[in-house]
Amino acid sequence: MKQKILTLLLSLFIFSGNAIAQNTYALIAGVSSYRNPQNNLGNTTKDAKDIKRALDRLNVKSALLTSKHANYANIKEKLEKIVSVAKSDDKIMFFFSGHGTTGAFCTYDELFPYSTLVNILSKAKAKEVYCFVDACMSGSVQGVASSGYNWAYNKNMMFFMGCRAEEFSWENQWLGNGNFSKALLKGIRGIADSNQDKKITVKELFEYIYKDVTVHTQNNSTVQHPQLIGPSEMQKNVLFSR
């Protein structure tokens, strides 16, 4: 009997240890002040800081880079570090808010191609990798990723992108954030939990973001349509538990 109890206690300890060992690592970057001041934006650094605060409350281990610190070299270095640290049971998240163009987002000093982002993250052992990009033309990642990333083989990476490949990703001075970032924030904080089970899945979060952003950009010159790009199997994954 004592042996059975000891075995049970050991199994519970091991299970508890594994649960604790499961971490979510996030790199959060936002650029409001660019090396070329003509490119400056209003709310993108605030987007990044707000996202970090929201993730901190969910015990996500996050690093923040803003404006001149959110340069190409720093973002690449931090991403590679996270990839090297994350274990097979962990999650990785990357958030960026700033300018974007076809095939790349714009760091403080130069373009960061989506092909480079995909290449770095595809080396991760982590079971799930999520990218959130609030930048113009961010939906163009799909074409880049399709040519350099095998969706049929690699099923652990999902992209929440602010808009379609040919669209703008709008800031909103009244919201104090980009429309996509604001919807993401509200979703993370619990509004996206449509069935109220204290868990927010990929599908729930994206459906909330899409509805919120399309509604709030109807009066702009073009409506913004967020994109969910990745394997359908991941849509049932739980992103956040509350």
Domains of the chain in sequence order: 22-241 (3.40.50.1460)
State yes or no: pLDDT of 20 exceeds 60: no
pTM for this predicted structure = 0.89
What distance in Å separates the CA atoms of residue 99 and residue 107, rounded to the nearest whole number?
A: 8
By the 8 A CB rule, do 142 and 152 touch? no
State yes or no: pLDDT of 23 exceeds 60: yes
Torsion of CA 128, 131, 132, 136, to 10 degrees: -160
State yes or no: pLDDT of 9 exceeds 50: no
Question: For 62-112, how does the pLDDT look when each residue is reduced to its tens digit (9 = 90+)?
Answer: 999 999 999 999 999 999 999 999 999 999 999 999 999 999 999 999 999
Of 163, 106, 96, 170, the residue nearest 133 (C-alpha): 96
Which tokens in the block code for residue 125? 């052992």
What distance in Å separates the CA atoms of residue 43 and residue 178, rounded to the nearest whole number?
A: 7
3-state DSSP of 5-18:
HHHHHHHHHHHHHH
Question: For 175-231, how does the pLDDT look when each residue is reduced to its tens digit (9 = 90+)?
Answer: 789 999 999 999 999 999 999 999 999 999 999 999 999 999 998 888 999 999 998
pLDDT computed for residue 176 by the predictor: 83
DSSP 38: G
State yes or no: pLDDT of 155 exceeds 60: yes
